[in-house]
Amino acid sequence: MTAQGGARDIVLEARGLVKRFGAFEAVRGVDFAIARGECFGFLGPNGAGKTSTMRMISAVSRPTEGSLTIFGLDPRTHGPAIRGRIGVVPQDDSLELELSVRLNIEIYGRYFDLPRRVLRERADELLEFARLTERANSKVDDLSGGMKRRLTIARALVNRPDLLILDEPTTGLDPQARHLLWERLYRLKREGVTLIITTHYMDEAEQLCDRLVVMDNGTIVAEGAPRELIERHSSREVIELRFGTDTPEQIRVALATHAERVEVLPDRVLLYVEDGDVALRAVHGSGLTPVSSLVRRSSLEDVFLRLTGRTLVD
Amino acid sequence: MSSVEPTLGWARWRRSWWYHAVFYAQTWRGSVVSSVLFPVFYLASLGIGVGHLVAHHHGLVEGQTYLRYIAPSLLATTTFQLGEGESLWPVLASVKWIRVYHAAAATPLEPRDILYGKLSWVVTRSFLTGVVYTAIIAAFGAVESWWGLTLPFIGALITLAFAAPLTAYAARVESDASFTMIYRFAFVPMFLFSATFYPISAYPGFLRPVVQLVPLYHGVALVRAAAFGQGSVLVQLTHVAVLGAIALAGVAWGRVTLRRRLVD
């Protein structure tokens, strides 16, 4: 199926999208466009407006202002038609705990008006996909967190969606379960499903997303491919230095000459540099003696923290 | 790739009804025990025990033995309890704790489909319960008129008159703290004081209009009139109108609260 959104096969387009709850403005005029087959990420600290945005692009919550088209349709007037082509993996699994794994998929499929015969076949396929075939008749309540998450993803695929929206799909999962999920998401992407994902794991965003936006305070503060964002907002490498208990001001001043940017944290100092090894030799050469040092490549996490700050948001 | 085109609203809410039916089919055992054994115990205890005392001191109640007199009201109280029991905690769980209504709202279903599916299932269950109860009441000899065939329908109306506003209410609250209060200070008095166990004429004159304000009273009066084939049709239509109005207002309110909860 081709998207009807325009020449570039745009699946979803938002212009000046705003969501207000009373006086509170959760999303403050964001613009983005997502192409078919793309994996697009929304990053941002808690309260950045990600979930409100996700709910709008799931054609569930109505935008307060701005324009939003999904598959070329307006969700205000074509909500059911749009949702019929979307799969949603919510943050909380919202599974029916008292029912079996299989019935959770079948009941959900009924919401899309799929005939029971089709549902039985799809449930078999999806259980296989989610590696839950052997647990098909178990009560969901008895599953591990990772199994529930896989079931939630399987359930979201029951209508064979053109667009899959995942809100923090791997939060709370162990590394094995995360990697299994990533592998499944890659497979969907290869099949041409457009993926939209929010995550707090920067490695996950780097792994999965072709393009992403960083949101903060209801606005988009950066947009691009993960590598582009790192190049644009951080240096190539980072040196992490520890100096015992405190980092005196004179050390900070001394370090500033060796780096593009210095960030002093309570437990360590970060030097943003082009070549870590060269800069570290220079640090040692200038007489500074850190207790420990680590040279690493700049990551999306550095970009994220630079753009959204290190203040804890609850 | 997509294979789904949404259909009309009437078809959509049936999908939500199906969910409730499947859920019940998986979890019915406990409720059947309570809904079959409870009326039998109730009739045996009150009808035979208290009935014996009543017969001894008072004779008949409005021309009926006490057992026959209270048997129909059992249908009213049970369908009332079904309405409240299916609404408060289960609805709050669905919108807040396990959030299955949020999952449903991400599909072609609209909040009103979820509401209609839920209420239509509760009404279906109430009707089926009403059929069983009518048979039990008839077995105790307390159905004396062909109007008795309307008892399951009346039961369904009573259930809807409670389930609709209580679903609407449960969809808008953040905790179940108020539910226990509602239970203690509204449901229990309503159960006891809706002329359930004796005629409204047993109350002092000034209290009767108060009793008539209680929704369940209209249900009790209706089932009794239908079981015995007594009373004017006009009065019964008034009872139907009261319950119907509460049900409709509840549905309208529920459309608002569920929409706010799931979509806004």
Q: Is residue A72 one of the residues assigned to a domain?
A: yes
| ipTM of the prediction | 0.87
Residue B250 makes CB contacts below 8 A (sequence gap 6+) with B160, B161, B163, B164, B165, B166, B167, B168
Q: Which domain CATH number covers A272?
A: 3.30.70.980
Lowest mean pLDDT among B1-5, B54-58, B232-236: B1-5
Q: Which of A175-179, B176-180, B237-241 has the lowest mean pLDDT?
A: A175-179
In a domain, A272, yes or no: yes
Burial class (CB in 10 A: 0-12, 13-18, 19+), A289: exposed
Q: What pLDDT, on a 0 to 100 scale, did the predictor assign at position B35?
A: 72
Per-residue pLDDT, averaged over B152-163, amounts to: 98
Residue B61 predicted with pLDDT over 80: yes
Please check whether residue B25 touches A, CB under 8 A: no
What is the reported pLDDT for B125?
Answer: 94
**What's the CA gap between B141 and A266, in Å, rounded?**
83
Q: In which domain, by residue range, is A289 found?
A: 235-297
Are residue A116 and residue A240 in the same domain, yes or no? no
Q: Does residue A87 sit in helix, strand or coil?
A: strand
Other CB atoms within 10 A of residue A76 CB: 11
Sequence-distant (6+) residues with CB within 8 A of A127 are A101, A102, A105, A133, A135, A136, A154
In a domain, A5, yes or no: no
Is residue B5 pLDDT above 70, yes or no?
no
Which residues in chain B are contacts of A193 at CB distance < 8 A? 1
Same domain? A144 vs A254? no
Share of chain B above pLDDT 70, in %: 96
Within this chain, do residues A143 and A261 fall inside the same structural domain, yes or no? no
| Domain match, A218 and A240 both | no
CA–CA separation, B196 and B156 (whole Å): 18
Query: Taking the domains of chain B in order of start, what are their residue ranges?
Result: 27-262
Residues of chain B with Cβ-Cβ distance to A106 below 8 Å are 22
pLDDT of residue B1: 41
Beta-carbon separation of B108 and A107 below 8 A: no
CATH number for the domain harbouring residue A208: 3.40.50.300
pLDDT at residue B7 is higher than 80: no
Task: Find out whether A194 and A36 touch, Cβ atoms under 8 Å.
Answer: yes
Tokens of B115: 């509401």
Place of tokens 């020449």: A7
Residues 79-108 of A with CB under 8 A from B: 79-81, 83-86, 88, 90, 92, 94-100, 103, 106-108
Q: Taking residues B77-82, what's their average pLDDT? A: 93
Same domain assignment for residues A157 and A206: yes
pLDDT at A60: 96
Instruction: List CB contacts (< 8 A) between A160 and chain B.
Output: 1-3
Picking from B2, B122, B52, the residue whose alpha carbon sits closest to that of residue A158 is B2
Q: Any idea which of A238-247, B16-25, B134-143 has the lowest mean pLDDT?
A: A238-247
A252 shares a domain with A202: no
Query: What 3-state class would DSSP assign to B124?
Result: helix
Distance from the Cα of A86 to chain B's closest Cα (Å) equals: 8
Angle of helix A175-190 relative to helix A145-156, nearest 10 degrees, comes to 10
Mark B52-74 as b/e (b = at least 16 C-beta within 10 Å). Answer: eebeeeeeebeebbbbbbbbbbb
Same domain as A202, residue A262: no
Asked if residue A307 is part of any domain, the answer here is no
Compute the mean pLDDT over every residue in chain B, rounded to the nearest whole number.
Answer: 90
Residue B26 pLDDT: 86
- Work out how many domains chain A is built from and give that number: 2
State how far the Cα of A299 lies from the Cα of B194, in Å rounded to an integer.
Answer: 70
Is A219 within the bounds of a domain? yes
Q: How many whole angstroms separate alpha carbon B35 and alpha carbon B30?
A: 9
What value does the mean pLDDT of chain A take?
Answer: 90
Per-residue pLDDT tens digits for B213-224: 999 999 999 999
User: Is residue A142 domain-shared with residue A254, that is, in the same domain?
Assistant: no
Q: Is residue A244 part of a domain?
A: yes
Which tokens is A168 given? 């923090």
Mean pLDDT (whole number) for B10-36: 83
pTM of the model: 0.89
Q: Is A182 on the interface with B (CB under 8 A)?
A: no
Burial of A97 (0-12, 13-18, 19+ CB in 10 A): middle
Query: Does A242 share its domain with A213?
Result: no
More confident residue, B161 or B201: B161
**Mean pLDDT value across residues B59-74:** 87
In terms of domains, do A54 and A184 share one? Answer: yes
Q: What is the pLDDT of residues B29-38, one digit of tens each?
A: 777 777 777 7
Q: Is residue A281 domain-shared with residue A151, that is, in the same domain?
A: no
The pLDDT value recorded for residue A246 is: 64
**β-pair partners for A168:** none
A313 vs A311: CA distance, rounded Å: 6
pLDDT score at B3: 44
Asked if A20 and A39 sit in the same domain, the reply is yes
Tell me which residues of chain A have a pLDDT lower than 70. 1-8, 245-248, 312-314
* Assigned domain for A199 exists: yes
Q: Say if A309 falls within a structural domain.
A: no
